[in-house]
Structure 1
Amino acid sequence: MNTAPTPDTYPLTRRADDDANESWLLLHNGDLLIAFAAIIDRGYELWITDIAVHPDYRGRGLASRLLNSVIHENSGSDIALSACAMDLQEWPKDAGGLPTEALAAWYTRHGFRSDPDENAEARMVRIA
C-alpha cells in the first residue's frame, strides 16, 4: 500500500496585499512552508514572480498544483512569468530547482509559450 503524501495532502492557503496588487498561494506541512507561488496583478496580465518548492518536498507535484491553481482561479486572465532558475535564501542553496531550460519546458507543458520582451528575455505567457 502506497502511503506517500499526494499534492492534495497539504492545505492550500492564500494571502493578499491589495495595496501592492500581490497575492500568494501557500502550502504548509504543519508550521513548515513547503511551497508557494507569488503573483502580481499588473492590470493587463498576472505576473508569476515565483513558484518554489522546499528541496525536501520536490518531485511530489506541488509546483504543478500551485501553477494549476493560479491558472484555474484566473482563467480569464493572461498569465506571464520569467522562466529563469533561481535560488532562495530561505532554503539551502545547494538544493537548486530545475535549470532554466528544463523550467521553460515544464511551463510549456502547462500551456505557456515563449514571449520575450526587452525587460525579460525568458518571458513566457499563457493567453486566456
Structure 2
Amino acid sequence: MDTAPTPDTYTLTRKADDDANEAWLLLHDGDLLIAFVDIVNCGYELWITDIAVHPDYRGRGLASRLLNGVIHDSPDSDIALSCSATTMNLKEWPKDAGGLPNEALAAWYARHGFRSTPHEDDEGRMVRNA
C-alpha cells in the first residue's frame, strides 16, 4: 500500500540573520525548497512576512507544520501577519504559484489562533496573542 509522505518526512532547518532580526524555517525535499516561513522580530511582536508551500506539495500539512513551529518556538510572543494571498516566483517553483484566496487564508489562520485586528495601514492584519 502506497502512502503519502507526512509533514515530518521533510527536512526542517532554521536560518537566522541576527543583524536584521529575521529568521526562517525551511522545509526541503532533498535539495528542493518546498516550504518556508519568514519571521521578523519587531521587538514588541514577531511579524510573519511570508509563508509559502510549493504547489506540488500543498495539502500535506506543511504550512501548519511551519506555523506551529513558529508558535512553539516563541510561546511568549505575540505573532502578527498580513493576511493576503501572494504569488511566489522562486526560481525552482512554477511561475505565478498563488496561494489560498484571502477568505480561506483568514479561516486557516483563525484555526491556528489568529484573530483579525485590522489597522488603518493593513486591513488584513491578524494577531495571535501569547
Instruction: Please indicate, yes or no, whether the TM-score normalized by the shorter chain is above 0.5.
Output: yes
Task: Tell me how large the CA RMSD over aligned residues is.
Answer: 1.0
Identity in percent: 77
Corresponding residue for residue 26 of structure 2: 26
TM-score (norm 2): 0.95
Structure 2 residue 123 is the aligned partner of structure 1 residue 125:
no
Q: Count how many residue pairs are aligned between Structure 1 and Structure 2.
A: 128
What is aligned with 1:75?
75
TM-score by length of 1: 0.96
1:54 and 2:48 matched: no
In structure 1, the gaps of 5 or more residues are: none
| Secondary structure of 1:108's aligned partner | helix
| Unpaired stretches in structure 2, ≥5 consecutive residues | none
Deviation at 1:97, TM superposition (A): 1.1
Q: CA deviation at 1:121?
A: 1.0
Stretches of 4+ aligned residues off by more than 4 angstroms: none
**Counterpart amino acid of 1:120?**
D
Contact 2:24–2:38 (CA under 8 A) maintained in structure 1: yes
Q: Deviations over 1:34-58 (max 9, x none)?
A: 0000000000000000100000000
Partner of 2:88: 88
